[in-house]
Amino acid sequence: TKNKKRENTMKPKSSPKSIKRRDFIKSLSYGSLGLMTFSLLSASEQCRPKLKRPHILLILADDMGYSDIGCFGGEIHTPNLDQLAKNGLRFTHFHNQARCCPSRASLLTGLYPHQAGFGHMTEDRNLVGYRGDLNRNCVTIAEVLKQAGYSTYMCGKWHLTKYLNPDQPQLNWPKQRGFDRFYGTITGACSYFEPTTLTIDNKRIEPEAESYYYTGAITDWALKYIREHDYHRPFFLYVAYTAPHWPLHAFEEDIEKYKGRYDIGWDKLRQERYKRMIELGIIDPKWKLTTRDSRVPPWEEAPHKEWQARRMEVYAAQVEQMDKGVGQIIKELEKKGELENTLIFFLSDNGGCAEEITESWFNWLLHGQDQVAREFTREGRRVRFGNFPHIFPGPANTYASYGIPWANASNTPFRLYKHWVHQGGIATPLIVHWPARIKTPGELRHQPGHLIDIMATCVDVAQASYPQSYNGESIQPYEGLSLVPTFDNKPLDREAIYFEHEGNRAVISGEWKLVARGKDGPWELYNLDEDRTETQDLAPKYPQKVKQLAQMWYEWARRTHVLPWPWNGT
């Protein structure tokens, strides 16, 4: 039909030249005409006026450890992220908030999570800092950039409201918090083959295709947004993958690529990664590799080795599929001629996850308010829940996690995991890519940073105005600093960065870090320049420094609604 229409618009009146032109058009095959049309469109795209302000692409991984991807020392095949790092910058001292909801709240608002109402997860603890829903005294990056003329899109995991169903209040769903278009899940976890709470804009849907895989669907919708965008204005695109968060789900052909790779076990894997991280300059050789977690047996003594290796094989396949999606998005931006002036962030919301899914999780997974699992697959098979050696993860009828041993490896060379604010919980691999602005690609940046800095950076590069009020409500000033000076390797002028989750607490100021486990745990003091892996507690040696930093932390905690505590003895 399109070809007939094209012919009709070219009908000659009497000119022999027009007749020849018409005959030439008729002689074209459909393939040739399609190629010609594509060429004309490409030329049109190239002739568009170049935008001075960049597009912004924010990509977030879920529960991925510091050393999992190749450019940060991992063995998992991540060529696309590695290429972004090669052509961009890697930040080695960047931090998150140790858990899904708090990190996402901090990332999108530029505030510490308690200031946005997300000191914990989506339950309401009836305290200002712990409401489990974004409050009205914060704005998201999407809300700020939308007012600055950006189109705003999101695909993937939201996890920033306690109201999951369309018949409940949607005030804090993506469409109501600044995004023009949304495809994804409202809850925090789900089957990759049949996700719960799957939503387009504000409407609940169900996955249709039997070949459905959530990581691929997130990528497809990102590509759709890029293709359909009006390039007379810039866009902000937030791609929030659930990979590699549990459950361990992947196609068998992707898992097969890693068959046998993890038969060496977690001890040797940690040593391999540690060595590569030193070679890459990610860590200083004077920082010791932490000892194996006391709950992890030596690999030689571990039972059920084939099952243990399988858990990591599936996890690696999940990470690789995410990397594949990132590659497709990059390719689409290149095709559109927009990669040069797109500021890309890639990072993780917390460290590797040591949660072991046990039989006691069954009722919460199926019937808890978070709606994270189904009892049966679409084919009617009953889902088998838990980390048990007779259940090999990967298929849709399993629901498992990779557990403590492999999380210990994912967080190489650091201590502890998601939930905790020692380095294993809060260190994130950050990649920043922006060819139009970054003049020294491939370099490392060691300036300490935090999720709160992403809002500040977006406001800076978008030349946006951060509001003092929004929708009639007063807005808290963002807490972060723009990372733009670090693109030229300049320092950031900040006093400290703060953390709290489930009573675990920390402050980083200069080379010093004060950290504690649980609200009643003793303070530990580390010199991060000398010992970023937190192996030598200096608290007994420097009591005045402990006192000074503890006072700073409590002043911050009172100001940002961390206190009063909602925790009873944790």
Give the Cα separation of 360 and 237 in Å (integer). 38
Residue among 71, 100, 101, 458 flagged as catalytic? 100
**Cβ(281)–Cβ(424) below 8 Å:** no
Least Cα distance to 218 among 244, 183, 179, 253 occurs for 183
At 548, is the secondary structure helix, strand, or coil?
A: helix
Residue among 93, 114, 159, 450 flagged as catalytic? 159
What sign has the CA pseudo-torsion 14, 18, 23, 29? negative
Give the Cα separation of 393 and 161 in Å (integer). 30
Q: Which residue has the tokens 């919460």?
A: 364
**Cβ(277)–Cβ(533) below 8 Å:** no
- The beta strands (E) that lie in 231-387 are given as 235-240, 342-348, 384-385
Give the Cα separation of 509 and 283 in Å (integer). 19
Q: Structure tokens of 106?
A: 């901090």
**Is 114 part of the annotated catalytic residue set?**
no
Supply the DSSP symbol for 16: H
Least Cα distance to 443 among 486, 494, 411, 491 occurs for 486
Residue-by-residue DSSP string for 276-295: HHHHHTSS-TTSPPPPPPTT
**Cβ(71)–Cβ(343) below 8 Å:** no
What sign has the CA pseudo-torsion 478, 480, 483, 486? positive
Give the Cα separation of 311 and 399 in Å (integer). 11
Give the Cα separation of 127 and 105 in Å (integer). 16
**Cβ(202)–Cβ(169) below 8 Å:** no
Going by their DSSP bridges, the two strands 55-61 and 235-240 should be labelled as parallel
**Is 353 part of the annotated catalytic residue set?**
no
At 344, is the secondary structure helix, strand, or coil?
A: strand
**Cβ(201)–Cβ(182) below 8 Å:** yes
Catalytic sites, residue numbers = 100, 159
